[in-house]
Amino acid sequence: MKIAILASGSGSNLQTLIDQLHLDTNSDVEIAAVISDRPKAYALIRAKKVGIPTYVVQLKHFPDRNAFDAEISGIIETHEVGLILLAGYMKIFQPSFVRRYRYKLINIHPSLLPAFPGAHAVSDTLDYHTKISGVTVHFVDEGVDTGPIIAQVPVPVFDDDNESSLHQRIQAEEHKIYPQVVKWFAENLIHVDNRKVIIKPE
């Protein structure tokens, strides 16, 4: 199965997907394209190092959001990917894009949704002083971090945590659960009934 990954930043999740799936000869998951909205994203370097085609698609180079989304769709269609993963991608898609790839577009988020959606989940968690945080992997819908939840992993919050220490603990779990969800998807084990996602054989 070919997948595309969209990333805006460091790409540590991309790296685990490269290591655990793309480079694993026992896995038939191939990362066919990495797309970023930031030319300096380290994710692009990680992809280039292993020969994965990379694309920089910046909103400022397009007349409007539709044209921007169409460019990304074009890359996805060219590579005939069956799954699109967001891994620290900081742009919101238009509803038409989300509808086109419904149940083929997955995001990873550093909190136990529906708590703390949005771009500042880790600092919002610390400001609220919850005792537990975690990771959510979910299908993308038209809202911000509101789509059907595929998997969640809890992570403790410690009294002396700062944003970096908590995010590091969360990312250690991200790096295990994201490749696992991709394997489930590739094996056709993910079934969706409205908001309810069940992992089971056919």
Among 18, 84, 87, 137, binds ligand GRF (CB under 6 A): 87
Among 5, 6, 11, 139, binds ligand GRF (CB under 6 A): 11
- Minimum Å gap between C-beta 111 and ligand GRF is 8
Among 174, 177, 179, 182, binds ligand GRF (CB under 6 A): 174
- Minimum Å gap between C-beta 100 and ligand GRF is 21
61 labelled catalytic? no
Cα(54)–Cα(115) distance, rounded to whole angstroms?
A: 33
Beta strands at 149-156 and 190-193: parallel, antiparallel or unpaired: unpaired
Q: State the distance between the two ends of the chain, measured CA to CA, in whole angstroms.
A: 18
Decide: is 179 part of the binding site for ligand GRF (CB under 6 A): no
Question: What DSSP state is assigned to residue 20?
Answer: I
Return the amino acid letter for 117: P
Nearest to 107, CA basis, from 131, 123, 127, 83 = 83
Cα(193)–Cα(186) distance, rounded to whole angstroms?
A: 18
# residues near ligand GRF by CB under 6 A = 13
Identified catalytic residue from 61, 79, 109, 120: 109
Nearer to ligand GRF, 6 or 72 (CB): 6
Among 54, 69, 75, 109, binds ligand GRF (CB under 6 A): 109
Return the amino acid letter for 87: A
Question: What DSSP state is assigned to residue 23?
Answer: T
Residues noted as catalytic: 109
